[in-house]
Structure 1
Amino acid sequence: MAKLYFRYGTMNSGKSIEVLRVAHNYEEQGKKVLLLTSVVDDRFGVGKVTSRIGMDKTAIAVDAQLDMRALAERERPNCILVDEAQFLNKEQVGVLIDIVDELDIPVIAYGLRADFMGQLFEGSNALLAAADTIEEIKTVCWYCDKKAIMNMRCKDGEPIFHGEQIQIGGNESYVPVCRKCYAAKRKNAVHE
């Protein structure tokens, strides 16, 4: 019986390298994988899963027009892997649920749990509510040795706590932090 998995972590926790590793393992065994990523994250080009350590793989870009169910029915993969799943909307997560439940194809979705203000993304919220299995991909705080659970947005190396929920970026824009360091930096931030 197929399951829906949600594997979440902060920025820089290794989610994309994990997606690439799992895809490689399936393909090395001669199994078919559908690799999907949100059209929203275009840092390395639309339709690319890229790890900060330099590995990448072409993926299918998920946008509002993509019929993921028809794609899954046509391709009949052994597994569907989704990178940047936080950018999915509730309806798209519903399609993934249907793929698991009705087509018996496992789906493993990777993404951020929350934004830089500690608010859930729409896709993450839907995945947390419906996933059969929820797993955390861990990393350490940028400032101390505690487990990072927050994403802190920075501009010119300084933490900022305002702006749109979605701002695409990497190490130049976000650092993983623990809740204590996040709170301390927010308390000391210049108020806009």
Structure 2
Amino acid sequence: MPTGVTIREVRAQLFRAADRILLRDGPSALTSRAVTTEAGVAKGVLHRHFDDFDAFLAEFVLDRVERMDAQAAALREAAGTGNVVDNLTDALTALFESVAVAVVALVSFRDDLRARLRDVWPAGVPVLTEAAIMIGTYLAAERDLGRIPADADVDTLAAMLIGSTHLLFADRATTPDASAVRKVVATLVRPEA
């Protein structure tokens, strides 16, 4: 790339490159050189925008968490409509078919990244804790509407749904059948008839 050329949206370009590498090759393949090569930019570009590679990765993870806001809003808006099990199955499948599973592996894989994230994230793995909040908020709305039992512990239920679904998707070359996700959801969530 010629010097002096302005790169528009370089952060987004680098983050999209990281997504592709994670999904295609896994966390061990994610290096600064791999990201810049995949993005089609000089290696120095990454270091002009981030203090170091772990700073890039921390920003990348937090950006992926922020991207979940639209999905969370759509799920909240689904409260009271359709079927609770179907709504949750769709949301969980969309979450885990995204780069989320790879981000969890990335955070687990890199000690320095976990340390940086602990400084800015309250607890747990950012993508999973944000997903649990999203699911818990939806479940609370459904509980308030009388569509799941009034005594449902929505925070525990959300954590169980995230953990159980994550186990279905983790370390797989293929995406699990939607019926497997639906079975987990239907087993844990007992909608009111």
When the two structures are superposed, what TM-score results if normalisation uses the length of structure 2? Answer: 0.31
Structure with the largest fraction of strand: 1
When the two structures are superposed, what TM-score results if normalisation uses the length of structure 1? Answer: 0.31
Please identify the structure whose Cα radius of gyration is greater. 2
Structure with the largest fraction of helix: 2
